[in-house]
Amino acid sequence: MMKKISLLIILALYQHIALAQAINVSVERLGDLRTARELRAPASVLSANRTVVTSEVTALISELLVDVGVAVEKGDLLVQLDDDNARLSLDQARTSLDALDAQITQAQRRLTKAEGLSVKDFISDDELIDRQTDLGVLQANRRGQLVAIQAAELTLTRTLIRAPFNATVVQRSAQVGNFAQPGTPLLTLVQTDLREVDAELDPRYALDIPKVSKLRYVSLGHQYPLEFLRLSDVIETDTRKIRARFRFTNDIAPIGSSGELAWTESTGVVPVSLIVQRGLEFGVFVANSGKAEFVSIPAAQEGRPAALDLPDDTLIISRGHIRLQNGDELILSE
């Protein structure tokens, strides 16, 4: 009987010691602790096209209708080249076509006459074939001449150089009276009706960009709403960043401006007050079966909140975690 009483006393003593060593803590659901975090990355506004307008034909520059700083719309006339030679070539091509048409008419009559004589054996088969060949050659020449007319018309059209899109003239490389040849730079245009924001993203956040909220471009105190366009699949070797492109959804920032891409992280982060360091690692303590479990956050940095990839119903120790060690017994407080 005395042995049984002694055993009960010893067990009660051990339970008292275990309770004395357990640490009082409070816990909260991870989903209730997550807070939105704003992230930023360097960005700038680029035009979809920066084009050097060149001549496609050889001709003197008769007139330059725009200068640096002028805004133009698609189809506006920018440069007039001398078109005298082009018009002469077109007239000559049309005259040659008229001559061919006359020859074809004559050859057709001769062939018709030859076919009538051939029925009566008044001409040889060889002579009939010659007249058929003559007509075929003239008809082929006519088709070639039609192509020559089209080429001459195209050359004449190219003496009028027009804006390929809505743009602003940013550089003038030619003067009236200069002799332009194919490829000669005349003007430089920057497209204004299609501009994009180019950003350099840390690879840790890049894949999350398509689903984040409140995307915006921030520059000179102004914020411009954006929407995601595309993400490169290459990490650039010089910057170790991934490039992404965005477009404006409302107001637009000036082309060439520099600023930042700002966004709100989609998953939210754990407050910095809950992150502790154990050894060389940063992480949080979670309550698991009455014991403290240290969960490392590889991307965490000292003094900064961090994203934690755990279910929302995970119990995070929010009070008493500073003095915890992995495996400590817990007493959960209300």
**Beta strands across the sheet bearing 185-191:** 50-54, 185-191, 167-172, 71-72
pLDDT in tens, 145-187: 999 999 999 999 999 999 999 999 999 999 999 999 999 999 9
pLDDT grade, residue 213 (50/70/90)? confident
235-292 pLDDT tens trace: 999 989 999 999 999 999 999 999 999 998 766 788 889 999 999 999 999 999 999 9
pLDDT given for residue 97 in this prediction: 92
Q: Given pLDDT bands bounded at 50, 70 and 90, which one contains residue 19?
A: very low
Q: For 80-113, what is each residue's pLDDT tens digit?
A: 999 999 999 999 999 999 999 999 999 888 888 7
- What is the maximum span of the chain, computed from C-alpha positions, in angstroms? 152
Length of the chain: 334
Q: What is the pLDDT of residue 119?
A: 63
| Of 77, 97, 95, 98, nearest in space to 87 by CA | 95
| Band of residue 10 on the pLDDT scale cut at 50, 70, 90 | very low
Does pLDDT of 308 surpass 50?
yes
Identify the pLDDT of residue 17: 42
Q: Give CA–CA dist 315/286, Å, rounded.
A: 6
Residue 78 CB-half CA count within 13 A: 32
Interatomic CA distance for residues 234 and 228, integer angstroms: 17
Helix axes 125-157, 84-119, angle to 10 degrees: 160
Q: Which amino acid is at 137?
A: V
The pLDDT confidence band at residue 20, using thresholds 50, 70 and 90, is very low
Q: What percent of the chain has pLDDT over 90?
A: 62
User: Sign of dihedral through CA atoms 19, 21, 22, 25?
Assistant: positive
With a cut of 60, say whether residue 329 has pLDDT above it.
Answer: yes
pLDDT tier at 129 (50, 70, 90 boundaries)?
confident
Here the tokens at position 81 are 């080249």
| Per-residue pLDDT, 224 | 96
